[in-house]
Amino acid sequence: MSVVEIDNNTPLAECGFSGCAQPSVRAGFLPVPLQHMPLSVLNTVPVYVKARTTGNRNAVFADTYSLYTAGVVPLSEADRERLISNGIRFVYVRIADQRRLQRALESCLASVAGDPEVPVSEASALVYETSFGLMNEVLSDPTLRTAADPLRHVCEAISTLVVCHQNAFSHLFAAARHDFFTATHLVNVATWIVPLAYQLGCKDEAELIQIGQAGLLHDLGKVRVSSEIINKEGELTDEERGEIRRHPEIGHELLATADWCSELVATVALQHHEHMDGSGYPHQLKSDAIHFVSRMCAVADAFDAMTAVRPYKDRALSAAEAMAILQSETPDKFDPRVMAAWFRLMVPNGAAREEKDTSARERREYPRFRFRCPAVVRILSSDAQTPCERPEFEATTHNLSRGGIGLYHACPLPLGCRVRVYPQVRAWTREYLEGTVVRCRETSEGSYDIGVEFTPECKALTRRRAGADDR
């Protein structure tokens, strides 16, 4: 579950809530997975259940949300079992209660992460999504006035997960998003750097918590750099590159003024773009002059930069391709000891598996990545030349590749229908994506998962440069 703020100040595109395409969110409710959510968290807010209507394909609009429990009569284990035995996997909370739920969940997240009754895959997804929700809040107020406790709580949870579960990295890696939101990048780096530190021999939980915080906050300085520059398509000018290269010092300054923040966290923000041979920035530090945790952060940071979908790249690299580049840049840029540990973590989780799974790669011509944002969709007229005035409707994208895009919508679309998709996200600079509906399946939430395959012209347009970038 992601518990992130969705209000007038937070565009849906940036909230990242996995269910934002679902009818429940449009109705003002967030789905919350029922099975492993602590009752102490659920009982901090009124809990609703959805009354499903069936038989009419358009009935998704008629769903109603009934109050199930609130305050005086809390949800009990017996209630939970009864709901689950009736096939109910989600309960619902009001979007207005989301922040309260997020705080409650953060404060007990470490106990969920260490609970042997909770499968590690589910605990990892919960830790990942809760961290993501928190980082969206932190980035909207980078003064960090109220962030100390929430950041400590989620980093305790990441650390607990890594200490209690030998394969935590695999599950955190599987839970990772690959979009271009800064919150995604920060959570990816944090959830990878902690297992990396553990792999390198750091077993002290207090240190692991600090290392997690360093990962979550390493790019904080980007909040002071214009998003047009960060997401610009094509080459940056020298002036723009200089502007982006200020982010380590800005981040260090912001973190050094937060009294709860350790020196390590501020140091990693300052040093994560330094290279072993002195070719990095901002201070051209060499080898041992770069803190060891900054060297770990540099590897996780570069790996995520290469494997994420970003508006200025034609495609994201596969894990195997990114590993090959990282290894070719070791020891010049990256610490060989850190790279060796990263390789040990990655081999069972990406590089090796991708190479073996050639049948999957053949089935899917282009790798797909999670890409969640609101979008306007226009159905084209039969000659496929001009968009009709209507119908035009709102949907939500959920994945993207060079070959096509996946959407959620409340109603089905006919197969073969030609559409233009207009992603509604600030960082998106191309006007629209055009293609044909090749898949339309009803989801468990009552909406439709629609696959659009791009036209050859659109596929050609999406083929631009790929590779590492030090933004």
Q: Is 179 in the site for Fe ion (CB under 5 A)?
A: no
Where do runs of H (alpha helix) occur along 35-119? Answer: 39-42, 77-85, 98-113
Q: Which is nearer to Fe ion, 333 or 459 (CB)?
A: 333
Closer residue to Fe ion in complex, CB, 90/181? 181
Gap between the Cα atoms of 430 and 428, Å rounded: 6
In the complex, least distance from residue 151 CB atom to Fe ion, rounded to whole angstroms? 18
Q: Which of 91, 97, 34, 100 is nearest to 66 (CA)?
A: 91
Number of neighbours of residue 466 by Cβ within 10 angstroms: 15
For the bound state, the minimum distance from the C-beta of residue 154 to Fe ion, rounded and expressed in Å, comes to 20
Stretch that binds Fe ion, among 83-91, 217-225, 311-319, 431-439 (CB under 5 A): 217-225
Instruction: Calculate helix-pair angle for 120-140, 148-164, nearest 10 degrees.
Output: 160
Q: Which is nearer to Fe ion, 219 or 434 (CB)?
A: 219
Query: Which residue number is nearest to Fe ion in terms of Cβ?
Result: 219
Instruction: Please pick, from the candidates 129, 156, 219, 449, the single residue that binds Fe ion as defined by CB under 5 A.
Output: 219
Give bridge partners of residue 404 from the DSSP assignment.
453
Q: Give min distance, CB of 35 to Fe ion, in A.
A: 37
CB of 270 to Fe ion, least distance (A): 10
Q: Tokens 């928190």: give the residue.
A: 134
Structure tokens at 8: 């007038």
Residue (104 or 244) nearer to Fe ion, CB: 244
Pairing of strands 404-409, 369-380: unpaired
Q: Choose among 335, 243, 255, 310: nearest CA to 282.
A: 243
Measured from the CB atom, the residue of 156 and 219 that comes closer to Fe ion is 219
The residues, any chain, with a CB within 8 Å of residue 165's CB and separated by 6 or more, are: 120, 123, 171
Q: How many residues of this chain bind Fe ion (CB under 5 A)?
A: 1
The interface region with Fe ion, picked from 77-85, 215-223, 231-239, 372-380 by CB under 5 A, is 215-223
Candidate ranges 88-96, 218-226, 350-358, 407-415; the one touching Fe ion (CB under 5 A): 218-226
Q: How far is the CB of 247 from Fe ion (least distance, A)?
A: 6
Q: Site residues (CB under 5 A) for Fe ion?
A: 219
